[in-house]
Structure 1
């Protein structure tokens, strides 16, 4: 597996990977209408393009060298808060599950967070998303929860999780 820095030319691929992973991850959690709304707003070409232009926001594509395919992506923002990187997006397509790519991607994020001078990673995870257990297994802990209005009558009902990265 390798992580490849994404550029503007990768926006269609990121959008496709998001759609494919969301259809699996959120099928039992969100209505089809909410999923479409969120994908069309949070993963619009304009939205991703704006992220890519920000010096602190980074996208990396998860490439499986064994099968020669892109299996997902990572989107994070250094210095989101003091000493804190925010993991905005980590998604893998369903057929990539169980390959250890998620764990390796989070280890990569740990390195990039420390390189930036941050030592804490935060993320939001839907309260009904089984990914919470995965994050806990990687050392993340719930520190709060929140309900966030995302427009069009929809909300995100999330746990807020954090991981403090120690320098050894």
Structure 2
């Protein structure tokens, strides 16, 4: 049974561990180990995740199959009006290419509509060709570059992608 559920405080350690496993497999050829460690500490510390769960404009979700978390997403209300950003969307590599990413994207679209937004955005590492292909398949388009100094001597070199889902669906 597949379920998308809101993350709870009790899930924060599991998400942190899952992110570490995913990141070291996914980004080992794109980022240095030092940058991976830095970004994991910056984004997936259980205490940080727990604090974000009470934020009004942040939506953490977990994708669960038979009581096992196999993926997660985090959406945030962007600074641009009518825009929701998928800040994180990851599926464990054992479950890739089975449509689970699409399930989380569809959930983000539902969240977007539920809060009265009309545009969905995300950033994706320029070297993450599999994710870029998947996002294009889901209806996202590359609309620009997003090169951001994240501190620690590291830079994120991403594409900015967006989609405006059909409102009538």
TM class, shorter-length: over 0.9
* Residue 152 of structure 2: aligned partner: 152
* Residue 167 of structure 2: aligned partner: 167
Q: Matched residues in 2 for 1:163 and 1:81: separation?
A: 14
Q: Deviations over 1:77-119 (max 9, x none)?
A: 1354200001000011111112211111111111111111001
Q: Deviations over 1:44-75 (max 9, x none)?
A: 1232123212111011111113xx42111010
> What's the TM-score once normalised by structure 1's chain length?
0.94
> What's the TM-score once normalised by structure 2's chain length?
0.93
Output aligned runs, 1:75-86, within 5 Å.
75-78=74-77, 80-86=79-85
Contact 1:78–1:116 (Cα < 8 Å) also in 2: no
Structure 2: gaps (5+ residues) = none
SS at match of 1:28: coil
Q: Matched residues in 2 for 1:3 and 1:123: separation?
A: 20
- CA apart distance, 1:14: 1.0
* Residue 99 of structure 1: aligned partner: 98
Output aligned runs, 1:1-168, within 5 Å.
1-65=2-66, 68-78=67-77, 80-130=79-129, 131-168=131-168
Structure 1: gaps (5+ residues) = none
Q: Matched residues in 1 for 2:78 and 2:115: separation?
A: 8
Q: Matched residues in 1 for 2:69 and 2:47: separation?
A: 22
- CA apart distance, 1:21: 1.1
Aligned length: 166
**C-alpha RMSD of the superposition:** 1.2
Contact 1:76–1:86 (Cα < 8 Å) also in 2: yes
Q: 1:140 to 1:52 in 2, by over 3 A?
A: same
Q: Matched residues in 2 for 1:125 and 1:167: separation?
A: 25
Runs of 4+ in 1 over 6 A off after TM superposition: none
SS at match of 1:35: helix
Contact 1:80–1:86 (Cα < 8 Å) also in 2: no
